[in-house]
Amino acid sequence: FSLKETCCRTRPLSLAGHVGFDSLPDQLVNKSISQGFCFNILCIGETGIGKSTLMDTLFNTNFENFESSHFEPQVKLRAQTYDLQESNVRLRLTVVNTVGFGDQMNKQESYQPVVDYIDKQFESYLQEELKIKRSLHNYHDSRVHACLYFISPSGHSLKSLDLVTMKKLDSKVNIIPVIAKADTISKSELHKFKIKIMSELVSNGVQIYQFPLDDETVAKVNTTMNGHLPFAVVGSTEEVCVGNKMVKARQYPWGVVQVENEHHCDFVKLREMLICVNMEDLREQTHTRHYELYRRCKLEEMGFKDTDPECKPVSLQQTYEAKRQEFLAELQKREDEMRQIFVQRVKEKEAELKEAERELQGRFEQLKRVHAEQKSTLEDKKRLLDEDQSSFNKRRAAAQLLQAQSLTVNGKKDKDRKNSGFIITSGIPSTSSSVAPTTESDKPCESPSCQSLKTVSEKILCTSFMVFESVM
């Protein structure tokens, strides 16, 4: 038999006598009592609107309270956890307060830290659930079970910040709107204000928490209380003597506002609904509705599905395998793309390098040409220089020869002069004026070559004399 067939075959049977499983609810109660309970409240409201006072009044204690400044640059959330006990029931209560809500000039992002806080608590729970070794039985569940949204008692209408924030949160948390400091608004105005708020919430599609009607024992009271929303509350931990009793109240010169008097405000209604009647439903709604939605979205985001496109059920293993194949295909695709890009880049680089090589080759050829031209110019110059040098050498040899000849001639002449009484009057003998040619053979030749040769020889002679003199 398949499981389905087995289920279909179940049929009621009557018991012949007492078995004992009727004690199951008691077992559950005892187990819950021994485990203790956990409840988390988020208070959203402007700075100084009365959040802390209301919490103190609700739980009849003094929680740690810090007065917030109005100059916070951004909205923050402060969570404090307390262990409370009433009779034999232990309650781990976490009170989360907004700090600096609505104080910034730009209120657009005021809700974001609140949304992030709620999501973070869901995420922690999901991570715990997904662990291989889970320990949910002793896990400190920090998911927000109830959100008290404090509305300013303006008597006018909701602020856009209120509507935007509640709209952003209504799928994540059970919102219970309350009109704060309700003693500052008259009875008739309060009535109109409540109606206005509810109609604004409905017209803007904001889903607030509705007290459940499925449990017959509380359906009636819950129906009535749903009609009183939003609750107009007054908070005070101050005790004032009224009649012969001490009651929590706020005392004014003109009278006393009693917190627990239902004719004065809705504080008792709120306490009844929040703590006495619907605390477990708030916890359950958080788990089955809000957390479930978060979990579903998150798992879908991660690619997990219950059915395939043909609506056939898909197991976790199949989803994982499909996801793995998808991932590998994607990886392969990206690898191919990368390879193509790489090849393309290499081609581009090669073309670039070839272009650069061509340019360099061109420049090299040009330089080579310039170099060859310069070389041939230099060779021409060198040749000319060699020619000059050889002609100079020749001239120098001729001059040396002439010099030698003239020295010989002059030596002979000197001898002749000495013999003929020629007196050297100065260091350089005046060949033109002091010594006149005496014979025909002494006369200078008139041919041009002889003339130039004469000039050169004269110069050489003159120089030789100077050298000669300096040597002497």
Binding site for ligand GTP (CB under 6 A): 45, 47-53, 67-68, 97, 181, 183-184, 234-235, 250
Residue 50: name its binding partner from Mg ion, ligand GTP, none (Cβ under 5 to 8 Å by kind): ligand GTP
Considering only 50-58, 169-177, 251-259, 315-323, which stretch makes contact with Mg ion by CB under 5 A?
Answer: 50-58
Q: Nearest approach, Cβ of 49 to ligand GTP (angstroms)?
A: 5
Q: Nearest approach, Cβ of 150 to Mg ion (angstroms)?
A: 11
**Beta carbon nearer to Mg ion, 95 or 225:** 95
Return the bridge partners of 121, or none.
none
Residue 406 is encoded by which pair of tokens? 């003239």
**Beta carbon nearer to Mg ion, 61 or 451:** 61
Q: Nearest approach, Cβ of 298 to Mg ion (angstroms)?
A: 32
**Beta carbon nearer to Mg ion, 180 or 218:** 180
Number of shown-chain residues binding Mg ion (CB under 5 A):
2
Residue 252's nearest CA partner among 265, 240, 267 is 240
Residue 234: name its binding partner from Mg ion, ligand GTP, none (Cβ under 5 to 8 Å by kind): ligand GTP
C-beta of residue 230 within 8 angstroms of C-beta of residue 265: no
Question: Binding to Mg ion by residue 47, rule CB under 5 A?
Answer: no
Q: Nearest approach, Cβ of 341 to Mg ion (angstroms)?
A: 58
**Beta carbon nearer to Mg ion, 81 or 447:** 81
C-beta of residue 47 within 8 angstroms of C-beta of residue 102: yes
d(CA 324, CA 213): 46
Return the bridge partners of 83, or none.
92
How far is it between the farthest Cα atoms of the chain? 188
**Beta carbon nearer to Mg ion, 38 or 180:** 180
Q: What letter does residue 274 receive in the DSSP assignment?
A: I
Which stretches of 64-137 are assigned E, i.e. beta strand?
Answer: 76-86, 89-99
Residue 177: name its binding partner from ligand GTP, Mg ion, none (Cβ under 5 to 8 Å by kind): none
Considering only 52-60, 311-319, 441-449, 455-463, which stretch makes contact with Mg ion by CB under 5 A?
Answer: 52-60
Quickly tell me which residue has 């340019």 as its tokens: 359
Strands 89-99 and 231-232: unpaired
**Beta carbon nearer to Mg ion, 52 or 57:** 52
Q: Nearest approach, Cβ of 264 to Mg ion (angstroms)?
A: 23
d(CA 229, CA 235): 17
Residue 183: name its binding partner from Mg ion, ligand GTP, none (Cβ under 5 to 8 Å by kind): ligand GTP
Q: Nearest approach, Cβ of 270 to ligand GTP (angstroms)?
A: 12
Q: Nearest approach, Cβ of 194 to ligand GTP (angstroms)?
A: 16
Q: Nearest approach, Cβ of 76 to Mg ion (angstroms)?
A: 12
**Beta carbon nearer to ligand GTP, 181 or 271:** 181
Residue 235: name its binding partner from ligand GTP, Mg ion, none (Cβ under 5 to 8 Å by kind): ligand GTP
Name the closest residue to Mg ion (Cβ). 52
**Beta carbon nearer to ligand GTP, 80 or 204:** 80
Member of 40, 47, 52, 142 binding Mg ion (CB under 5 A): 52
Q: Nearest approach, Cβ of 175 to ligand GTP (angstroms)?
A: 17
Task: Determine what percent of the chain falls in helix, strand and coil, rounding each to the nearest 5.
Answer: 55, 15, 30
Q: Which residues bind Mg ion (CB under 5 A)?
A: 51-52
